[in-house]
Structure 1
C-alpha cells in the first residue's frame, strides 16, 4: 500500500512538473494545471517573480518585524496555543507550521528542529515575507489573494525551491470579516495526508472563534466574571475536572442537569459529589476522550444525560484534566436525526390522486393527523404507505423526527436492539457505551413501523407493552425510559387472517387498529394513472437525461389497461425503463415492457371473447403467482386461503411454477 501511494505521488509530481515547465519555458497552459494555480502563475509572471530563486526574496529588519509583532500581538497570542496543539499532532513527521499576518509576514514558526534548520537556509524564518510576489505560488500568498483555504502541491509552486513540498494554508478572518492572517503547514509532499488541509482549516476556525471571544472579553474587566458568563451562556452543562477527578468549575446548567444540591462543590471529587458520574470519573482520571450515557436520580427527579469528555493538556504535553459537556440525551438524538436525515419529506399535497376511494383515504389520514392516536395503514406493496405516514407526521403537531423502520428487513437477532436499544455490555460486538433504539430516537416525533405483520410474536408482546405503558426498557437493562412518540404501523397483509392463523397477536392488532386507513391499489383507481404519469414522467425524464415531453394515446391506454400488481412503485419503474429505451420525444406503445403489453392484449381479448369461469380463474391464479413473491402474498391478493390456492394450482397444473 505504501508503495502504491509513493508511486501515485511520483506520477502526480511528474505531471505537475511537466505543466510547470510548459508554462515557464514555453508559455503553454497545460489543461492538467488547476485554474487557480494557473492564475497564480500568471500573477507571478506579471510581477516578475523569479522562479529559480534560492531563498525567500525579502526578510524584514528587526525594527520592521518588531512593529509588525506589536500590531499583531493579539493574533499571535491567540494563535500560539492552537499552533502548538496542531504541532503536537504532527510532531516528528517533518512538518513546519507557521502563522503569517495579512501581508504574508511570518509571525510564528514551529516544527521539528532539523526541518527548521533546513528551512532557515532558504530564509524561512520569523520576519520572512511569504507573498506570491516574494515567494511565488504558495498556500499562504495564494490564500491571501483568493481569500480561501489553499493546498499547493509540489510542482504547483512557481518557484523551483518549493517543488519538493506541499503547503496547506487557511486564511484567518477577524470578527468583522477582515483578513487577519494565514495559518500554514508545510512538509515534503510524500508526508502530506489528504486531511492536512482540513486540520489547518479547523485550526483557523478555532482561532477565529477565539478572536471573537477575545473581543467580548475586552469589554469586561474581571476575567473570572467573563469566564463564568461564557459558561452560563451555553445551553449545555460544562464542568472542568482535574486529573485527580476534582471539580474545578461548573456552570448552573450542569448543576441543574446533574441534580446537584450542594452549594459549593468546587474542589470536591466528582465521584463522591455526583454518584451517577462514577464511571465518568474513572475515564477522566485515565485521560480518556469518551462519550458516555448516565442517568442521574434524586428522589422523583431523573435526568437521562450524555456526557462528552474532552481531555486537555499543558504546553509540556502533560495531562491536566478534562472538560465535561453535559447534554440531555434528547438533544443528542436531535443532532443524530438531523445528520441521518430522519425527517418526513412528503405532505398530503405531495400525494397525487383524485379517485374517490383514494381521496377518502387521504381524508381519514388527514383527520388522524390531528390526534395522537395510533394509525394503521393497510395497502399492497407500492401503494404509498410511507408517503401517507410522512404526510400524517408533517400534518400533526409533532415537532420531533420521523423514524421509519422496516420490520421485515431487520434480522430477527437484531430487531429488538434496533427498536429498543441496548445497555453497555449487553452482547459481544455491541457499543461499549450502549446505544439508543429507534423508539428513543423518535422522541416527540413519529415512529413508522412498516411491514408490522412480519414482526415475530415475542417482539409483538414487547411492542404491545410499549404502546400500553408509553415506555421502553433497553436490551440488557432494567430501567424504564419514558417514550413520547406517535406510532404509525403499516402492512400489506390481512392482519385479521394473521390473527386467526396465530401469527399475529389479537391484543396488539386492536391496539394498532385505532384509526385504519385503507389505501386502494392502483388497479382500483386507474383514473389516477394520467395524473401519476404526468407527475412522474418529468422526474424520470430528468433523472435519465432524456427529452421525453409526452406520452402517446396508445401507450396511455396500455398503462390504464394493465393491472399493476406492483402499484405506483411498479408504474414508476415501468416509466423509467420505457424512457431509457425511448428514441423520440414521445413515449410510445413500443417503448413499454412486454409484460405490460401482454397483459393488455389479454384484457383486450377478454373484452371480445367470452371465456369460461375456469379459464378466468386459471388466468387470475397464474398472474398472481407470477407477480407475488410468495404463496402467502398470492393467496392474500386472490382473497383465498393457502390450502385453496394449493388445490387450485394442482387442479390447473400450476403447482410446478417457481415462486
Structure 2
C-alpha cells in the first residue's frame, strides 16, 4: 500500500503557484468579516463556496468569535478512555495506513476523529501546535465548538472537503490548509473522519484531497471487512456446530472453535488439510459442487473420530462463480433431540398422570396401555375436552419413549399450509419458503409418534397422500424428487363420526379403515362421576400452587351443583370452572369458600340446587381434602341425594315438610323414596 500512496503523492510535491494566494486570502478575510458583521448579504460573497459561508454564519450563531480562538471542550479521562474502548477496532484498523502515509508526508500531519469530531489520534507533526490550538486527543473539534473546519464540514456533509487558510472560521487558522474525507461502517453510518492538515497554506492541492479520499476509501474497506470477519468469528464461536470453510479445491481454509474441540484428538492441523481426508465421502462433497444443491442433516461417519455426525454442506458462490462451501457438523443425535422439541408438545403425560379411578376410565387406560406396546396406528374417539391429547402422550411414552413426539391440530392450520406442515418442502418450492427447505411433521416424527388431532378436518386431497405414506413408509417433500423413509406410529383423534363422514364422501373410507382398526373411546365426564371430586382436588392443588392462591373449601351446595351438571365440555370445562370459582371466591379477610354463586351461570341455570334449611348447613363447609373418605366410597349424585332425603326426613318427620325443605313436590319425593327403597322404613307421615 505504501508504494500506491507514494505514487499518488508524487504529484502533490509540486506546490501550486503562490503569487495570487495573498491577494485571494485578503479578499476572503475581508468578505468573511463583512458578512459576519452584516455589512454585506451572503449572496455577495464570491470568494468561497456557498456552503462555507453558511458554515461561517452557523458558527456565529453558536456564539463563537472569528477573531479570538475558541478553545474546544475536552473529554475527561474517564470519558475519553470509554470512547477509545468503543473505537478501539476502528483506531487499530487505521494504524497501518496512517503510519505508512506519515512516512511520505512533508510539513503535514494526519488527524483521526470520530463521527462527532472528537480527536482520536494525531501525528507528531501536529502535536507541536497543541499549546496554541488545543489540538490534542480527547478535544472536541466541530463546527459548534471551534467553527468552520475541514473535518467539521466533512461530518456535516459526509463527503470529502478541502479548506484553505481564511476559509476556516477562526483567524488563528489563516495559514492552515486541510483536506478531510469521511469513513463509513458496513451499515453506511459515519464512523469517523481522516484529515491531512498542514500549517502552511501553500502545502496542499487538489491532489491532496484525492490522496486523503483514497486513504479513507482504503481504510473504510479494510474496516468493514475486518468488522464483518470479527462479527462472523463471534457468531461462529456462539453456535454449537463445528464449522469448516472449504475452498473449491477441497482444502480447509477456516474452522471455528467447536471444530477445533471436536477434532483435537487428531494430531493433524485441520487448516490446510483436504476435506476428503476428514469426511471420507468424496461423492457427497462433489455432489454439492456439481449440482449446487445443499446437503441438509445427512448422517455420516467420521472414521478418524469413530463417531457419527449429522452433516450439512452449503455451496458458497457469486452468480456462477463457485468459491467453495461450508460444512456444518453436529452430533448425530442432535437432530433427534431437536425433533422432540419441535412443532408439537413434548410428551410429558404417562398413564399414571391421567387422573381417575372410575370403572370406565380404568378400562380405557388398560386398553390403551396394551395397544401402546404394538406397532400399530390408533384412533382416539371422544367428545371435546375428554383428554385425547393426554392419552396420545401416554401411549407414546409407553410404547416409543425414546423417539420424538410431534403433534399437529388439523383444524388449527389453514388448508393451504397444512400440506407443507405435514410433508415439508425443498428450497424454492414456493414464495416465502425457507432457504434450504424445511422438514415436515411426518419427517420430524421419524422413530417416534405423530399425533394428528381433529383428523376429520384434514382436506380430502391430503388424506390420499397420508394414506400413501402409511402404506409405503416413505414421504416426499413439496418440490422434492426423492422419497425419504419414515418410521412412525400414527395416533389420530377426532370428536366426529368418521364413518358417517366417509359415507357422505367427506372422509376417505380407505384411510378410515387404515387408522381405525384399533379404536379407543375416551369416556365423557358424565360417565365418570366417581372421578369428579378427585379431578377437582387436583385442579385446586394445581391453581393454588401455580398462582399462589389460598386453597379454598368447597360448600356442599357447590358440590351438589358440580355433581349434577352434565359437563358438555368434559374435563377441560371442569378445570376452567374450578379456576373461575377459585378466583370468584377470593376474600382478603377470610379463607376462601366456593359457594354456588361463585360458579359459572350456565351451571347454576342447569342445576336446581335444593333450598336446604340454614340450621342443617351449619358447620358443614368442609375442605375438599377432607372428602377423601367420600371419594374412596365412590360418592355419586345419587348417594348425595339419598343421604340428603334421609337427613331432611329425619329432621322433619313429615313428607310434606321435607318436600318443602327440599324444594320439590310431594309426588316427586314419594317417587324418590320408592327409588331408594326408603318406603320400607317407617316415617311419621
Distance 2:463 2:666 in 1: 50
Deviation at 1:540, TM superposition (A): 2.3
- Unmatched tracts of structure 1, length 5 or more: 1-51, 60-82, 93-109, 124-195, 210-223, 262-270, 283-290, 298-302, 313-318, 612-659
Deviation at 1:249, TM superposition (A): 3.2
Please say if residues 87 and 111 of structure 1, whose CA atoms lie closer than 8 Å, have aligned partners that are also in contact: no
Distance 2:348 2:594 in 1: 29
Deviations 1:121-144 (A, max 9, x none): 479xxxxxxxxxxxxxxxxxxxxx
Deviations 1:535-593 (A, max 9, x none): 00122234444313321121111111000000011111111111111134121111011
- Unmatched tracts of structure 2, length 5 or more: 1-73, 95-111, 123-134, 140-226, 241-254, 301-307, 611-640, 642-661, 669-685
Distance 2:455 2:566 in 1: 26
Q: For 1:307, which of 304, 312, 319 is the aligned residue?
A: 312
Deviation at 1:111, TM superposition (A): 11
Matched, 1:390 2:416: no
2:216 counterpart residue number: none
Q: Which segment is superposed worse, 413-422 or 544-553?
A: 544-553
1:260 counterpart residue number: 282
Distance 1:459 1:330 in 2: 31
2:366 counterpart residue number: 363
**TM-score, structure 2 length as denominator?**
0.48
Secondary structure of 1:601's counterpart equals coil
Deviation at 1:251, TM superposition (A): 5.4
Secondary structure of 1:414's counterpart equals helix
1:594 counterpart residue number: 601
1:18 counterpart residue number: none
- Superposed, 1:124-523 pairs within 5 Å as 232=263, 248-250=274-276, 252=278, 254-255=279-280, 259-260=281-282, 274-280=286-292, 293=296, 307=312, 323-326=326-329, 331-332=334-335, 334-335=337-338, 337-338=340-341, 342-523=345-526
Deviation at 1:322, TM superposition (A): 5.4
Deviation at 1:88, TM superposition (A): 8.3
Distance 1:435 1:397 in 2: 24
Please say if residues 336 and 404 of structure 2, whose CA atoms lie closer than 8 Å, have aligned partners that are also in contact: no
Please say if residues 352 and 532 of structure 1, whose CA atoms lie closer than 8 Å, have aligned partners that are also in contact: yes
Larger Cα Rg: Structure 1 or Structure 2?
A: 2
Deviation at 1:461, TM superposition (A): 1.0
Please say if residues 378 and 520 of structure 2, whose CA atoms lie closer than 8 Å, have aligned partners that are also in contact: yes
Distance 1:348 1:453 in 2: 26
Secondary structure of 2:490's counterpart equals strand
Relative to structure 1, is the Cα distance of residues 428 and 234 closer, same or farther in structure 2, using a 3 angstrom cutoff? Answer: farther
1:550 counterpart residue number: 553
Relative to structure 1, is the Cα distance of residues 500 and 600 closer, same or farther in structure 2, using a 3 angstrom cutoff? Answer: same
Matched, 1:576 2:579: yes
**TM-score, structure 1 length as denominator?**
0.50
Relative to structure 1, is the Cα distance of residues 341 and 419 closer, same or farther in structure 2, using a 3 angstrom cutoff? Answer: closer
Deviation at 1:228, TM superposition (A): 10
1:49 counterpart residue number: none
Distance 1:595 1:423 in 2: 50
